[in-house]
Amino acid sequence: MSNERNEPRARLTAGTSFDDTSHLKQERAIRTRGTILNAAAAAFATEGFPQVTIKAIADGADLTKGAVYFHFPNKEALAVAVLEEFYRRMQEAVNGALEHGDPASPSTFVEVVRRLARAFHEDIFIHAGARLQIERPYIKAELPVPYVGTLDVLTELLDKCRKAGSLPEDTNPEAMARALGAAVFGAQHMSWVLNNREDVVERVEEIIDAFVPLR
């Protein structure tokens, strides 16, 4: 009889489900990682990789050094993560232009360049990535190869423009992409050094006016 009285309770206990908090922990970890990356990007952009410390990043994120090390084993890993986000955001800027424009139109090429200029003006991850690219010799880690993806996109767009008759038939899309890419990335660097990128959009517009016909 005793066992019979306890059986319903045993069944209830076995069938009771408890809230799974693993997804909450995962979300919290993702938020914490994002906070750390934001702090790292700001530190790398303003101070440069050699000067930045894990403590400075932890302080910027309002976290302990242990919390930073839980997500990233060292400063190099943080630099790699920031650069990966830099390239993702650069690609995002390019995609925003390609989604709504005709790839064979010079106006789409111009919109890609303008979006890159705005990203260099506004986005702290772009600022950090641009600086980290310069400081590659100080970062003892395997880093993404810079510029290649952007130059590939510019070359493809210019080739489509040439085939559509928007550029002279003898235009070399690859050479033109390299020249324009160098001009844009050089302009953002000069704008950073001279004016903290406040005039980068205007400097890129000058490049567009000088080198991109038939918009």
Listed residue (55, 126, 124, 53) closest to 88, CA to CA: 126
In this prediction, residue 163 carries a pLDDT of 95
What is residue 130's three-state secondary structure?
A: helix
Cβ atoms within 10 A of the Cβ of 93, count?
A: 22
pLDDT above 60 (res 195): yes
Q: How many CA atoms lie within 13 A of 89 on its CB side?
A: 21
pLDDT above 90 (res 83): yes
* Residue 213 banded pLDDT, cuts 50, 70, 90: low
What is residue 205's three-state secondary structure?
A: helix
In this prediction, residue 2 carries a pLDDT of 41
Higher pLDDT pick, 101 / 206 = 206
CA torsion sign for 162, 166, 168, 171 is negative
- Integer Cα distance of 208 and 215 in angstroms: 9
CA torsion sign for 97, 100, 104, 110 is negative
* Residue 211 banded pLDDT, cuts 50, 70, 90: confident
In this prediction, residue 38 carries a pLDDT of 98
What's the pTM value of the predicted model, to 2 decimals? 0.84
- Integer Cα distance of 50 and 65 in angstroms: 18
